Chains A and B, each alone.
Chain A
């Protein structure tokens, strides 16, 4: 099955962040395995109608976080260490980001948890 990334200009989230989050999710759930090659920066940028610098930033951030490695011959590939990530640690990191966003929006704990429950329960 071919893996895809989607950018929605109306989502309110920066395009680079949307791409980065989707790639991390694909690696975390094993859809992208260590050694799998990501498309070249220019190809992905053109396909998504984004600037090359935007995708370069995504790859740079992923490399800094240890999700991918970049080598001249093979391009950008999923790092071996990415498969050893603790799923619970990933969940905590995602939750921390959600809490930060909720606080910025002025939402209290009850509201944030209610939203999570509602989304979790939806199909």
Chain B
């Protein structure tokens, strides 16, 4: 089987995803670390279990997405995609599928809710939403001017996915303690927002200084949005 065959590439990336899954399969240590980074300094065992379940719901999909995304890219006429693009879309779609799984009603006997009106800016700061709007609008204008219709579809598609992830993160049933719940919602929404900011910049063919600068700026913006913010948990205390 020739290596440039799309199916072969998909199988290879799928195997890579399987290796990633084995290496990154979350345990209590990963769950505790996630919560501490977001400001839950002394998580209980129940909190840690909740965080591990949250990570499992996303990472379970990685091998399958690593396998499917190159095939989808080829079918959509945008090519197999670079390794970075496959990783970005895998995390992106893994987040969406994880949020969809979390939509199911909780089965726990004891359930807790915050008695406050939750809005989008509780999960994603306003400046990040402005960056997202600028990035998507810039991507749409650029792809229309360049008549790159497949890239336009990707830009609009990623905007639709981030909207779906944020909407579900805002509305899904609560998971555990109120602070842990808010942290997990915020993490989902911010990772999706950060990746959506980077996608339009990453689809530009880097050949000159402005396109390189655009890419670097979008990466910096993504890192700023996705980075854990300990204040999220403090706001729920």
Contacts and interface: CB of A to CB of B under 8 A. Distances in A.
Contact of A47 (B109, B173, B235, B237): B173
Interface in B130-189: 171-174, 178, 181
A5 B236 contact: no
A49 B106 contact: yes
B110 A9 contact: yes
B115 A4 contact: yes
B236 A2 contact: yes
Given A1-B237, A2-B236, A4-B178, A49 B111 contact: yes
B103 to A, nearest CB: 9
A23 B113 CA distance: 12
Interface stretch (A38-46, A86-94, A99-107, A108-116): A38-46
A8 interface: yes
B111 A46 contact: no
B74 interface: no
B113 A47 contact: yes
Contact of A3 (B106, B108, B116, B171): B116
Chain A binding surface SS class: mixed
Contacts of B236: 2
B110 A32 contact: no
B105 interface: yes
Report the interface size class on chain B.
20 to 34
A111 B88 CA distance: 65
B116 A2 contact: yes
How many A residues touch the partner, as a band? 20 to 34
Interface string B193-237: 000000000000000000000000000000000000000000111
A49 B171 CA distance: 12
A75 interface: yes
A9 B109 contact: yes
Interface centre among B106, B108, B116 (most CB of A within 10 A): B116
A24 interface: no
A17 interface: no
Contacts of B172: 46
B117 interface: yes
B24 interface: no
A46 B171 contact: yes
B171 A43 contact: yes
Given A5-B112, A38-B117, 12 more contacts: A4-B113, A5-B115, A6-B113, A8-B109, A9-B110, A37-B117, A38-B115, A47-B112, A47-B113, A49-B105, A49-B108, A75-B117
26 contacts: A1-B237, A2-B114, A2-B116, A2-B235, A4-B113, A6-B113, A7-B112, A8-B109, A9-B109, A9-B111, A10-B109, A37-B117, A38-B117, A39-B114, A39-B115, A40-B117, A42-B171, A43-B117, A44-B113, A44-B115, A46-B171, A48-B113, A48-B174, A49-B111, A49-B174, A75-B117
Interface of A: 1-10, 23, 26, 32, 37-40, 42-44, 46-49, 75
